[in-house]
Amino acid sequence: YHTDVSRKTMKELMQRSDSPAIRDTIIWIAAILVSAAGGVYFWGTWWCVPFFFVYGVLYASASDSRWHECGHGTAFRTRWMNDVVYQIASFMLMRNPVTWRWSHARHHTDTIIVGRDAEIAVMRPPDLLRAALAFTGILDFRYSLPALVRQAFGKLTPDEKSYVPEMEQHKAVMAARWHVAIYIATIALALTMRSWVPLV
């Protein structure tokens, strides 16, 4: 099916603007903060569960779409705004913003070519358990955290070196170091407070 949309109308619909993206980002961040505050307020009771459920969905699922669109530079008209939200969303998803930017460029160049596309969501034959777990974020944690730690020590895999230009590789290491430093600071805060709240 093809919807008949005139070229003129399509051009009007494709005009980029910062306003909707700024509004949506403010709503997204505000909703994350309100749900987190509710979860912390009701900490230790079952009432925290719905707040953390909303928080988790907004933190992870909504971050992925922002990561993707801002990575392409399509959410905002202004480039630096795309870059800021891309960096934030990358952190929230435990993704190195440098390696993933280049990995995603390769993904669009060599889509579903095994050995070239590092972002094949479901390999053939499909691993249904892995596909189901992809919706939980467990796999992101299982694979992304060790990758960030490895990268923070300055070690990129041969695959990463194949798609991240040599002049960008030091940026990938620095980004990983910042992410790991924030994780370590959060763990230290949790230990100091003797509370799981900073980790959650």
What does each of the 200 residues of the chain score in pLDDT, given as a tens digit? 777 888 888 888 888 889 999 999 999 999 999 999 999 999 999 999 999 999 998 988 889 889 889 988 889 999 999 999 999 999 998 999 999 887 877 666 666 566 666 665 666 777 777 777 776 777 777 788 999 999 999 999 998 898 889 999 999 999 999 999 999 999 999 999 999 999 88
Residues 74, 41 contacting (CB under 8 angstroms):
no
Between CA 189 and CA 70, with CA 29 as vertex, the angle to 5 degrees is 105
Residue 181 domain-assigned (yes or no): yes
Residue 198 domain-assigned (yes or no): no
Between CA 164 and CA 179, with CA 72 as vertex, the angle to 5 degrees is 55
Angstrom distance (rounded) from CA 42 to CA 123? 41
Burial 72-106 (b: 16+ CB within 10 A, else e): eeebbeeeebbbebbebbbbbbbbbbbbbbbbbeb
Residue 79 domain-assigned (yes or no): yes
Residue 3 domain-assigned (yes or no): no
Query: Which pLDDT score is estimated for 60?
Result: 82
Residue 40 domain-assigned (yes or no): yes
Residue 93 domain-assigned (yes or no): yes
Query: Which pLDDT score is estimated for 34?
Result: 97
Query: Which pLDDT score is estimated for 101?
Result: 85
Q: Residue type for 148, please?
A: L
For the beta carbon of residue 129, count every other beta carbon within 10 angstroms.
Answer: 8
Query: Which pLDDT score is estimated for 133?
Result: 74
Print the domain residue range for 159: 16-193
Residue 102 domain-assigned (yes or no): yes
Structural domain tally of the chain? 1
Query: Which pLDDT score is estimated for 120?
Result: 55
Residue 157 domain-assigned (yes or no): yes
Query: Which pLDDT score is estimated for 117?
Result: 60
Query: Which pLDDT score is estimated for 113?
Result: 62
The CB-side HSE value for 69 (13 A sphere, CA atoms) comes to 16
